[in-house]
Amino acid sequence: MWLKYLLLLLMTPAISYAGYCQREQSKQTGTANKTTSAAPEEDDYDVLSLKFDIALSNTSTAVSGNVITTGKVVAASMSTYAFELNSVITIDSIRFNNQIVTGVTTTGNVRKVSLPSSITNGSTFTAQVYYHGQPPAGNGQFFTAGLNPVLLNGNYNIMYSLSDKDLASDWWPAKQNIQDKIDSVTMWVTVDDSLTVGSNGLLKNVRILPVNKKRYEWHTSYPIDYYLVSVAVAPYNEYSYYMHYTDGSGDSMLVQNFYYNKPGILTAREKAAFDSTGLIIDHFSNLFGRYPFDKEKYGHCMSPLSGGMEHQTMTTMGTVGFSDEALIAHELGHQWWGDNVTYGSWRDIWLSEGFASYCEQLFVEHFRGEAAFLAYRKNVFGYIIGQTTGSVYVDDTTNVNRIFSQNLTYYKGASVVHMLRYLAPSDSIFFRAMKRYQSTYGGSHAFTDDLKNIAEQEYGSSLDSFFSQWVYGQGLPTYSAKWYQQGSDVVIRLSQNTSAPSSVPCFWMPVQIKLKSALGDKVITLYNNANSQTFVTSFDSVMTGMEIDPYDNILNRTTSIVQDASILGIANAQLDQIQVYPNPAQESWQVTNLPQNADCLVTDATGKSIWHSIANFKISIPAAQLAQGVYFLKIKTNEGAVKCMQLVR
């Protein structure tokens, strides 16, 4: 989501680009992170809409006005209205269902007011809170405060919100629960008439008010999480245009950008990056499904932020990001991954940051080519290769630095996404699964297992081992190998150890192997699910060497690869490496680690032949049309060795 960029200058022919993201490290290390509402009474209602009517400036955090929350009671009854608002802010009055209520209690930032009478399940209500105050100011970076007034060189003032992860209450009366999305938000902000306000959704009106004031009236009709509600106030200039979708619909959408009203800001480089945004929106729409908020807009508000914050429909972007298409791609990717589908708990935040980080790679792949894509991925792998422990799934939600771990949440998260793509039967199936995830959970939230279930259904195979090892488990594998060639037969002994064996003793992965020769190379795939395995394959050319995972599809280290004649004596062990999964099966059995030209015969319990094929390394045996029961697979090698296995439908 919200990230800080470390510029890694990667050079490929005629290409230079900024590298991977790292999240701004919090000044609040150890701050407890809520996985539920701050007060149990907040869970008594669901937020339906917000109507802001507040006054702000670009020089301080002073805020005044009112916010109307429309909610629906989801408990059996509700007798107390609870919300969060920074304790330094003064509540002037509260109207509940248009009646003044009194007796507000304050515990920390939690405010509670007893209702004159309980309201029942299913009832809707309005709570209008009038307030004013000057909450503590942030320093312009993540996790310091909800409002951030910053003075730039040249006496240029800007003030912008950063509510993530629980700082919305610094500037408005909020329910800060990521599972309760707000159905719609109207944002009216009154400012001096020299200023501009950027926010979510569409700008419906700019109303001229007395005493040199203006009121900017924004509205979004899409569900939005509390931490994505945003404002940015500055003397902005605007550069906007309409992008056009290439899906044959003929549709277009507003791309709206606010940048500093200072000389030399909108250079040709920045303008080119602005213009590229529409192209990236179209590309990601082809990959994940139409941009989720296409009836409104996408855009940016310039800020001194060290990175970008993916405020829904309008990212708050640091100045570096305006000339860095990879960062633009990251924050834009969040509109699907984090904004449209929000993670259901802070433990699952890789569903946002990992995918948005991988969107950088998808941008590079499409717009800069395969070589640049590989270089970018290798660079990401290089950053985390030394991370020997720790899981993508957050194990400590009390520490903001762990939640937004650069290595685990961003880098390893993106690497897991790529490996999930690598495991897919095809690229089209991978992206079909991603589209289905978006369409299924769009406008709501999802958990890691929700993504897993959809991927399994689309892939037609179990992903239990992959998610258990790569998402919930720790560490990464280190591969080594011995090989020897005799005639056209090549024997490979592949070995693996892991950096956190108590968590994952062995990563089960299909590993690509490049067999090298002076006349050309050959790439084969070996399904590795043991710490030491022997495989036999064929190669007509004289081998000069071997490479493990030549295209960096697996997060791993590789150590020694040596030629060794002694492994010839264990070649007959190849039948012991054959694996069948899933078993029982619904649609098909996948059989891996088959020797060359393996004769595969399936019979029923009576010995009747059901299916037959000659296969190399891997084969899929159809099961969907078979009756439930037990079947038998007989595998015979060219040398006459036979292995029998039981199949369950």
Q: How confident is the model at residue 66 (pLDDT cuts 50, 70, 90)?
A: very high
pLDDT in tens, 67-114: 999 999 999 999 999 999 999 999 999 999 999 999 999 999 999 999
C-alpha distances out from residue 354 to 2, 454, 604, Å:
12, 18, 46
State the pLDDT at residue 603: 82
pLDDT in tens, 597-617: 888 999 876 667 889 999 888
Overall residue count recorded for the chain in this entry: 649
Question: CA 28 to CA 398: how far, in whole Å?
Answer: 11
pLDDT for residue 353 is more than 70: yes
User: Is 185 in contact with 200 (CB distance < 8 Å)?
Assistant: yes
Mean pLDDT check: name the lowest of 64-68, 212-216, 327-331, 384-388: 384-388
Place of tokens 């209702």: 115
User: In a 3-state reduction of DSSP, which class is residue 162?
Assistant: coil
pLDDT for residue 117 is more than 90: yes
DSSP letter for each residue of 541-590: SPEEEEEESTT--S--EEEEEEE-GGGGGGGGGGGGG-EEESSS-SSEEE
Share of the chain above pLDDT 90, in %: 79
pLDDT for residue 570 is more than 60: no
Question: CA 357 to CA 25: how far, in whole Å?
Answer: 17
State the pLDDT at residue 467: 98
The terminus-to-terminus CA distance of the chain in angstroms comes to 44
State the pLDDT at residue 84: 98
pTM of the predicted protein model:
0.86
pLDDT in tens, 457-483: 999 989 999 999 999 999 999 999 999
pLDDT in tens, 174-228: 999 999 999 999 999 999 999 999 999 999 999 999 999 999 999 999 999 999 9
pLDDT for residue 15 is more than 70: no
Name the token pair of 544: 């000069």
Mean pLDDT throughout 498-526?
96
Q: How confident is the model at residue 643 (pLDDT cuts 50, 70, 90)?
A: confident
Question: CA 626 to CA 605: how far, in whole Å?
Answer: 13
Calculate the average pLDDT of the chain. Answer: 91
Work out the angle at residue 219's Cα, subtended by the Cα atoms of residues 75 and 445, and round it to the nearest 5 degrees: 45
State the pLDDT at residue 24: 30
State the pairing for strand pair 444-446/341-343.
parallel
Work out the angle at residue 533's Cα, subtended by the Cα atoms of residues 530 and 536, and round it to the nearest 5 degrees: 145
Burial class (CB in 10 A: 0-12, 13-18, 19+), 122: exposed
State the pLDDT at residue 605: 60
State the pLDDT at residue 613: 92
Q: How confident is the model at residue 20 (pLDDT cuts 50, 70, 90)?
A: very low
